[in-house]
Amino acid sequence: MPHLTDVFRCRHGALAILIGAIFLMVAGCAAPEPPQVKLEKADILPLAIDSNFSFRKKTQFLNDPSTFITTGPKNEAIEFERKYYMWPATTQLDRNALRGNYLNFFWWNHGTPSDVTVRLEYRQANLGPFVMAREKSYPAVKGSVRTQFTIIGDDYLENGPVTNWRCLLIVNGKIVGLTQSYLWK
């Protein structure tokens, strides 16, 4: 006759396997981030703001060791973020490829699922008033989404840091949501 402790061990083991299997299935359902496409020219689009689409948060990080402040007390959170964006660089060539601007936009669609294109329009220090653009497209999106744009490597090393930007949510060729930096004109 099995001991009561053996029965509990068996149930805990089965529960752990079940939770692990559910975790793997959910992780497999996560959609990969679409590739960012560099545009030759950013077309002007009509404005049709829709309250179902909105930006909820934006973050930006400049990953350039030449701009890091090394005096004073160290901030562990900033150190962690620097290491996060530099991983897995091992050589100077790898580190240069990861130097630059990382812009994250958190947005949502509260309405019906829609095909959404997220466009980042930006200016860089060495290009003056010239506007660059990148896009990512999401099919049938509803709910909360994070979009990350990176201006790193040669784009950053040749053209300098991003000086100002605006980010657009585009549905059916119309701008339904937007956010911008304070310096955008």
H runs (alpha helix) in the chain: 4-29, 76-86, 92-98, 154-159
Would the CA dihedral through 153, 159, 163, 167 be positive or negative?
negative
Tokens representing 18 are 């079940």
The DSSP call for residue 71 is S
pLDDT on residue 14: 56
Rounded mean pLDDT, 46-75: 94
For the chain, the residue count is: 185
Q: Name the residue type at position 32.
A: P
pLDDT on residue 31: 66
DSSP labels, 91-103:
SHHHHHHH-EEEE
Q: Looking at per-residue confidence, does 185 or 55 come out higher?
A: 55
pLDDT on residue 142: 96
Closest alpha carbon to 95 in 157, 159, 158: 157
Which residues face 169 on adjacent strands? 118, 177
Lowest mean pLDDT among 29-33, 112-116, 119-123: 29-33
Residues 6+ apart with CB under 8 A from 96: 153, 157
Rounded (5°) CA angle 168-165-183: 125
pLDDT on residue 33: 87
How far apart are alpha carbons 104 and 175 in whole angstroms? 19
Tell me which range, 12-16, 72-76, 178-182, is most confidently predicted by mean pLDDT: 178-182
Q: Is the pLDDT of residue 148 over 80?
A: yes
